[in-house]
Structure formats: structure tokens, C-alpha cells
Structure 1
Amino acid sequence: MTMKKLYIRTFGCQMNEYDSQKMTDVLKHSHALELTDDALDADVLLINTCSIRE
């Protein structure tokens, strides 16, 4: 069975990088996803952004 592929793009601070890594770990294990560096090759796209509020 071919694994589905996950592409993740992170915008923001170091905390966003950490959050993206955690989400990647969870999704890889819970949904048997393989990480890819090519968005066009991915079955699942995850965009992690940040907004700064005062």
C-alpha cells in the first residue's frame, strides 16, 4: 500500500517551527503519512501561520 504524502509549510517564529514539527509527528503516526518537500507531490497540505496580537 502506498503511503499518502504530507507537505508542511511554516511561517512565523521558532514556536511555529516547533508546532509544525509536533503536528508532523502526530500526523505521520496517526494517519501513516510520509513527509515530502514537494507540495505538488503531496496528498495533504498543512500551512502553519502566525498572527501577532497586541
Structure 2
Amino acid sequence: MGRLCLLLVVSLSLLTCQVLSSGVFELKLQEFLNKKGIAGNANCCPAGSAHPQGH
């Protein structure tokens, strides 16, 4: 009986770890403002590709 309980506890803990470490993260941006006009690779953004700002 002790081994069965131990097996059950180990199985549930492994299952919990697997469930907690899986998933997808999504982020929906409503607006993005690049004040410096620099891309992530440190190059300037191409002219005319940015949306005109209406602020």
C-alpha cells in the first residue's frame, strides 16, 4: 500500500510539473510607438513603412 501511495504522489507531481510548464503566451498590441525610429537590429527603419501618427 505504501508503494502505491508513493507511486501516486510521484505520478501526480510529474503530471503537475508538465501541466504547469506547457502553454502559449500571446500579446496583442493595440499601438506601438518607436520614438527613436530604430529597429531591433539597430538599423534605422525604412522610410515610409511606419504608419502616420494621428496624435
Q: TM-score, normalised by structure 2?
A: 0.33
- The structure whose residues are more often strand, as a share, is 1
The structure having more radius of gyration, on CA atoms, is 2
Work out which structure has the larger RCO, using CA pairs closer than 8 Å and 6 or more positions apart in sequence: 1
